[in-house]
Amino acid sequence: METDNKNNNTDGVHSQDYYVLENGKHASDYIATYRLGFFYGNALKYCVRCGKKEGNSVEKDLNKAMTYILSSDSEYSFIERLAKRAFNTWLFNDRTQFAPKNLAVILYAIIKFEPKEKIAKLIVKYMKFRGVPIKPEYKCYE
């Protein structure tokens, strides 16, 4: 079934507008294309939707993203991460503005399988930018 990344399609995957980036692509498109896996994929998803989904605060979504990133060690070995980082860096050619600049930096880091500590620091920086209180357990990433 064809999808148009709008709320009027019926596939269930692309139907939520809060997962659509500024370039019209859906978060799940990036998760599938770059084979982000469960933890990095969910971190990307929560960063994309932060502040967009009714009933979910920016704080709640960014904290969920942090939880997934910091839990990502078990998903891939160090060698697998290096291979994915190299492949996704080569593959990623989306030069369009797909998210606000501060958020785009995080999304690029996730897509390129940067180390979880680097991504955590970027998320904490974005939390500060958005005025989100930093949990004590995340203070070490400031």
Q: What is the pLDDT of residue 7?
A: 44
Q: How far apart are CA 82 and CA 111, in angstroms?
A: 12
What distance in Å separates the CA atoms of residue 50 and residue 61, rounded to the nearest whole number? 5
Query: What's this model's pTM, rounded to 2 decimal places?
Result: 0.82
Q: Which residues of 90-108 are buried (b: 16+ CB within 10 A; e: fewer)?
A: eeeebeeebbeeebbebbb
Regions in the chain scoring below 50 on pLDDT: 1-10
